[in-house]
Amino acid sequence: MEISRTAVDRLQNIPWFVNIGRGGYLNDIKNITAESDFISHITSVHWEDVTLQASNVITGYLAKRQSSKYQCFNGLVRKAKEIIDIEIMPIIKNPTTLDDDILINNVKWDLVSFLAEETYKAYLPNERFFERLTVIYENGHIPCGWEGQWPSGRLVIY
């Protein structure tokens, strides 16, 4: 299993955070405009739990239904982390008052998970959580929370 160069190029072309704090036109999403609300959401245990659950859906599905493909998963994630650290993180600047480490760790988790999800997409169910987060980044926002109990509810973005 190899990480898609097209997926990496897609991440390199994101207009990082150009629309934070602005209203949006994305459907089924709660758009917050206050930085204090953003910080409250992105640092919440609830948001961390949601992204962990979404990641666990990927690994659980692969382990049960595609065990031979799953054997490569940890190595692929290590490679994805390396790519994100070298090719993507240097172009991302924190536009908020949130501590850099918190923002960077959230973004890295989303992007590494996206690359893994993208690599295994042919073997996964149609609902792709981290693809959805990547679309939010592509629209210049930051996914930062979840309203409701996952997977029901809606995404919160800044």
State yes or no: pLDDT of 111 exceeds 80.
yes
User: Region 58-84: what's the mean pLDDT?
Assistant: 96
Residue 90 burial by Cβ neighbours in a 10 Å radius (0-12, 13-18, 19+): exposed
How high is the mean pLDDT of the chain?
96
Q: What is the pLDDT of residue 74?
A: 96
Q: What is the pTM of this model?
A: 0.95
Q: Residue 26 pLDDT more than 80?
A: no
Mean pLDDT of 1-23: 96
Range scoring the smallest mean pLDDT among 81-90, 105-114, 118-127, 144-153: 118-127
- Please report which confidence band the pLDDT of residue 127 belongs to, taking 50, 70 and 90 as the band edges: confident
Cβ(3)–Cβ(115) below 8 Å: yes
Is residue 80 within 8 A of residue 1, CB to CB? The reply is no
Confidence of residue 9 (pLDDT cuts 50, 70, 90): very high
The burial of 126, by beta-carbon neighbours within 10 Å (0-12 exposed, 13-18 middle, 19 or more buried), is given as exposed
Determine if the peptide bond prior to 151 is cis (ω within 30°): yes
pLDDT in the model for residue 95: 94
Amino acid at 149: Q
The closest alpha carbon to 151, from 125, 127, 123, belongs to 127
* Rounded alpha-carbon distances, angstroms, from residue 98 to 5, 90, 106, 133: 31, 18, 11, 19
Q: What is the dihedral of CA 106, 40, 139, 155, to 10 degrees?
A: 90
Question: What Cα–Cα distance (Å) separates residue 45 from each residue in 13, 20, 28, 109, 153?
Answer: 30, 22, 22, 15, 16
pLDDT of res. 25: 74
Tens of pLDDT, residue by residue over 49-62, are: 999 999 999 999 99
Task: Return the DSSP state at 123.
Answer: G
pLDDT of residue 119: 97
pLDDT category, 2, cuts 50, 70, 90? Answer: very high
